[in-house]
Amino acid sequence: MLLIAAMSLAQGDTISAKLKADYEGTWLCKDKYMQSTIVIRFEADKDYVTIYDVGTGEAPVIILEAQVQGNKLIVPSRLHHNDYVELEIVKKRLRLRTRPTIRDEHENEIPSNLKLVDTRRFKKVKNATFDERLILSNEIGATEIE
């Protein structure tokens, strides 16, 4: 817990403009049967990166807080919310990987040697509009994908 607090305090001034430009925006993952969307925002007054998991738009938006670690965004696991999530840009695609979180009978996280699982790869959307009210109502505007 202290490590996360230390990372978040240091994050504000150390995030490079290139890292912000690379990650910030709307990301889309399409396959034959569905489409999933996430939006990543760096806000000046926040000590974390906000990730809006819009998904397919059929369920409410999930809002996650990520920390910057090197060139990756890390979302720590939270009880009853999410497993450990790692986001990294590889060849202009946003790679989302997860690691299942194992807990004991008291709901304490148990360290594990489980490997990260590649779950999705997203393409960045060009000229997407960002309006938090629209995102929270699951309406995102986009014109083309990079």
In a domain, 39, yes or no: yes
CATH number of the domain to which 102 belongs? 2.40.128
Q: Which of 45, 98, 101, 110 is nearest to 73 (CA)?
A: 98
Domain membership of residue 145 (yes or no) is no
Name the token pair of 77: 């696991």
Mean residue pLDDT across the chain: 78
- Sorting pLDDT into bands at 50, 70 and 90, what band is 34? confident
Q: Give the separation between CA 17 and CA 40, rounded to whole angstroms.
A: 14
Total domains, the chain:
1
Q: Does 146 map to a domain?
A: no
Whether 80 is covered by a domain: the verdict is yes
Does residue 144 lie in a domain region?
no
**79-116 pLDDT, tens per residue?**
777 888 899 999 999 999 988 877 778 777 777 777 87
Domain enclosing residue 83, as ranges: 2-139
Q: Is 57 left (phi over 0), alpha (psi -120 to 50) or beta?
A: left
Prediction pTM value:
0.74
User: Is residue 89 assigned to a domain?
Assistant: yes
**Residue 26 in tokens:** 């709307």
